[in-house]
Amino acid sequence: MHINLSGKTALVTGSTQGIGLAIAKGLASSGARVAINGRSATSVQRAVDHLAATVDGANLVSVPADVTTDEGVAAVQAQLPGVDILVNNVGIFEAVPALEIDDEAWRRFFEVNVLSAARLSRTYLPGMIERSWGRVLNIASDSAVVTPVEMIHYGMSKTALLAVTRGFAKAASGSGVTVNSVIAGPTHTAGVEDFVYQLVDKALPWDQAQRQFMIEHRPQSLLQRLIEPEEIANMVVYLSSPLASATTGGALRVDGGYVDSILP
């Protein structure tokens, strides 16, 4: 399958590491002009340098800003008045017992994981509709469907993100613009390594720690391993392409079979 995104501009939030960086690499490898976003200019430049060294002819833009704030989104829009592909990837997670999650944590998870995506969609969707082409992708999680007892505030935010996705897809109905979410399963990133070690013996070597985590905390996984970020990126690149023109309003799973459902 040949995917050519030449002439398209993509913004990937939280793209200095992990899944976001893998998505940025996938889009750049397919010819898109990719805006790299993170909160600090240093981390953004590090990611840009990495991608420039690993993707031949990569067309990259540095957009340092905190997109979880009004001011940050305004700064991004000033540099990027319009985009063709918006990937709302930025997000946070942490393990906290349910009865210890205070009001501020509930607000923070909603602000970062939900409202940032809604705000950026509201910012860029009108231009896509006007041009009769565009893609909005929200990176959700298996936790949207299978609420994890160790972080129900995170699960709540990802469930809300599915609703946001479906709603904006309806707002773009008949325009040629598609809006979808990608349900990522347990994925191997530096942040997830830290999370795993919150739940298993810190003295274990990584391979053993990962295995114990999957057995004890994610036994539903049919893959029985953590997913690599590039595997999430592959789905995002496809959904960003003209090949996915009839897929909208969906929640597509790249979860290793974690969610026990026969529907996507």
Residues 173 and 213 in one domain: no
Q: What is the CATH number of the domain that holds 106?
A: 3.40.50.720
Measured CA distances, 107 to 13, 103, 156 (Å): 20, 6, 11
List own/partner pairs for 207-213 with CB under 8 A and 24 or more apart: 213/186
Question: For residue 231, what pLDDT is reported?
Answer: 98
Confirm whether 262 is domain-assigned: no
Residues 176 and 197 in one domain: no
Measured CA distances, 219 to 12, 51, 224, 254 (Å): 31, 35, 8, 16
Confirm whether 211 is domain-assigned: yes
Residues 125 and 36 in one domain: yes
Identity of residue 22:
A
Residues 178 and 212 in one domain: no
Question: For residue 41, what pLDDT is reported?
Answer: 98
Residues 219 and 153 in one domain: no
Active-site entry in 124, 154, 197, 238:
154
pTM above 0.85, yes or no: yes
Confirm whether 92 is domain-assigned: yes
Residues 152 and 209 in one domain: no
Question: For residue 233, what pLDDT is reported?
Answer: 98
Number of domains in the chain: 2
Confirm whether 96 is domain-assigned: yes
Domain with 213, as residue range(s), is 188-226
Q: Examine the residue annotation and report whether 238 is marked as an active-site residue of this protein.
A: no
DSSP bridge pairs for 210: none
Confirm whether 3 is domain-assigned: no
Confirm whether 257 is domain-assigned: no
**pLDDT mean values, one per 10 residues, the chain (264 residues):** 96 98 98 98 98 98 98 98 98 95 98 98 98 98 95 98 98 98 95 92 95 93 95 98 98 96 85
Confirm whether 255 is domain-assigned: no
